[in-house]
Each structure stands twice: as C-alpha cells, then as structure tokens.
Amino acid sequence: MNSQYRQPPNSIEAERAVLGACILSKEALGTAIELLRPDDFYDVNNRKVFEVLSSMYLSDKPADFVTVSIELTAKGWLEQLGGQSYLAQLVANVTTTSNVGYHAEIVRENAVRRRLLLVGDEICTMAADTSVSTKEIIERAEKLIFDAAQNKNSSDFRHVRDIIGPVFVNVEDRFNSHDADVAGYSTGFSDLDAITGGLQPGSLTIIAARPSMGKTAFAVNIAQFGGGGIKGANLPVLIFSLEMPAEQLVLRMLSAESEVNLSLLNSGTFHTNDFKKVQRASDILAKRNIFINDDSNLTAVDFRTRCRRFKTRYPDLALVIVDYLQLMSSGDRRPTDGRQQEVSDISRMLKASARELNCPVIALSQLSRAAEQRTEKKPQLSDLRDSGAIEQDADVVLLMFRQDYYSDNENNDQLNSQADIRVAKNRNGSTGVFHLTFERELTRFRNHG
C-alpha cells in the first residue's frame, strides 16, 4: 500500500463488537457470516477468531465462549490471541447482539476502502507501464474496482409485498401512457398431490426440463397457488432466483394471478376492464408470504447460510425453491474433479439443507441435449445434466415435456398446450405421468380437464 496511507481504514472496536455478538448469539453469527468474510477483518487476531467462528457455524457446531476456546486451542491460536481473557473482553463489551449488522457494515466498509487503496496503487502502476494499452488499463481498472467493492453476501431476502408495489406501479404507468387429504405441502396440482401426498418436509424435489419448457413457471405456480395441506396455507416460501430478477418473477406472478396476458402487462396495452383485475391481483400477491433472493452469484455456502438465517427469522418456513441448480457454484476454492463433481456436491448440499430446515426443497435442473438426438423426445432420468448424483439425492424427480415445444407449426391461436409431467422417481411412493394445461400467455399451469 502507498506510504502516504500510514493508517489503513479500520475499526478494531467494530470488529470486536461483531466477534463478541457472534459468540453470544447464533443468529448474530449467521448475520455476520452473510455480510463478512475473514479477510474483511483488519486485525489479524480478530480475523483468526472469525475464521474459527465461520468454520464452526458452517459445520453446525455450537459456537459459544467454551467451544470457541476449545477450537482456538486446538489450532494453537488461543495463547497467541491473549488467552481466555481476550475472548472474555470480546463478550464483555457487547451490550446487545441486535447491533451486529450495523457493526458488520462498519467492518465491511473499512475493508472495501482498504481494497480500493490497493487497487489505486495497482492502477497507478499499470498507468505508468507504456507497454500496456490505455484500453487494457481501463478494462482492468474497472474490473479491479468492481471486484474490490463487490460483496457477494450482501443480498437480502425481499418480501413479495416490497416488490409488488414497484412492479404494479410500472404496470400502471404503462397502462396510463383445499387440501385436507394432503399430508405435506400441497402443490396446488391435484394429480401430483395424489401421487406424492404433497411435498414432504426434508424432501428434495427436482423439476427437470429443457430450456423454455416452463419449469420456472411450474415452480413459481407451486409457490404462488400451493400451500395448504396439514401445514396450513400462506406459510413462508423462499425462492432463490439465480436466472431471473425478482421484479420479472413477480411480474409473472401478477400475470398468473390476474389472468392478464404477460406481454400486455409488459407493454401496458391491456384493456381498461383488466386494470381492476391487475389491481386486485397485486393486493392478493402482497399478502402472500413469498420471499425472493435474486443473487445471481449464489454459492452453496451462501445458500445454506441464508436458509439458516431465514429459518431463524421464520421457523414455519414451508418451502424453498432454487432456480436453477446448474447456475449455483460450490464456492469451494479447492481443486475439484470438474463440473460434474461440483454439481454432485451442490446436490448433496440441497438434500442436507432440506433435512436440516425440515421443509421441502424444490430445485430446478436443466436436461442435457440427449433427448434432442432421439426420435422420441420425451426426457429420461439419464438426461439429467452434469451429474447422476442429482437423481441419487432427489426424493422426487419430475420430468417436464410439451410436444408443441418441438412443433414446427407456428400457430399463434394455439395459446394453451398440454404439459406431460412424469414422476420418474418417487422415493416414498409410486411413479406415473399426469397432464397439465400450460397457458403460455399467463405463464400458468392448470389441472388438466
């Protein structure tokens, strides 16, 4: 770092406040892990403690004064840090753990500033190198600044009511210029519930299809119109949308709820009579306990940490949806055996998370192009992309197929199509095929017949 920066930005007090809160509260630790990483801590000793706390949390080990002392001792660090008196001082300075988020933001802000100072030095060095083109320097500088400022763990959960307002306002602006026999979480689709008995707590369900077949719409329909069963209706549902922004996802929900064409909502050209339908649908959606996280850089560690934090806030979490599995990364910096092994690790993590959260997890998955090469286009379990571990870990695998997807006949009047959903695997029940009607203009599936 340039010598003119004698004292890099830091707040040892904020760092210690974060660590003390983490030792006192598991929820505070979850919050801190979501906001910070060990190298955000300026003080080396504080960094070591947070590294241990993070490792214990992710391994589901209880972290308190005694267990943290044991872990630090095992690493040979406790005496280096100043012994148990150092830990005692961390805890003693904490008046409330509820301020951990505020203190963590102070730590992160200083860490970003330190990284930006280093980036500035590097940019100066590049600018002085006449062998590097100006264009390369600018591109490299932009990336360095972006990477320094980025915090992949800063994304938070957003209740659908906080999103529906702006979405509805946009639609308005464009316009102006039940389930008692279901043992688990009811999907809202009677034939699927009849086969599975609803989505069971601790289960992993895979919805697999080729791109643009409708798997996102199907999963969102389950979140939006499902629920009920013995668990009751309108319990919290958490959606991780790695591919689609939250606003776009909610706009789809608005179309499905109001039964107003999605393309017309986008353009604002729907009929005056439909405006009240859109308004009513907006009110209904705002009351649904659906939360969306649209971080496109989600790692397996992020997923598990955020789910745990959400479960702490909302113990009655009823369903988690991931759209989609192949867009998630393991976040493991160690060398792996390739993408297949990484997907296997993610699949196992999803199943473990379902069990830990004690709620069903739905993960969407792409299918390989193998079906495209066959005369019979209907998907098979072997078409699951990247890893056979997906089939192994899943309790239920649903393969989606629409014949019109492969049709060469462009018939604009045929807005609805039949979707065949094959229950290709059902660990605790039967398999079979059922049919749904897919209303493409609404991105909505309905029970067939």
Active site residues: 243
- Which position has the token pair 């957003």? 158
Secondary structure (DSSP) of 254-287? HHHHHT--HHHHHHT---HHHHHHHHHHHHHHHT
Are 190 and 448 within 8 A, CB to CB?
no
Secondary structure (DSSP) of 173-192? HHHH---TT-SSB--S-HHH
Are 222 and 136 within 8 A, CB to CB?
no
CA distance linking residue 367 with residue 399, whole number of Å: 9
CA distance linking residue 46 with residue 200, whole number of Å: 42
DSSP 331: -
Partnered with residue 208 across adjacent β-strands are 365, 399
User: On the CB side of 274, how many CA atoms lie within 13 Å of its CA?
Assistant: 18
Are 444 and 265 within 8 A, CB to CB?
no
Q: Give all strands of the β-sheet with 204-209 in edge-to-edge order.
A: 158-159, 290-293, 237-241, 319-323, 361-366, 204-209, 396-401, 416-426, 432-439, 444-447
Are 437 and 445 within 8 A, CB to CB?
yes
Backbone angles phi, psi at 322, to 5 degrees: -120, 120
User: 364 by DSSP, 3-state: which?
Assistant: strand
CA distance linking residue 101 with residue 20, whole number of Å: 13
Residues in the chain: 449
- For 118, the enclosing helix (H) or strand (E) is helix 100-128
- Provide the phi-psi class of 232: left if phi over 0, else alpha when psi is between -120 and 50, else beta: left
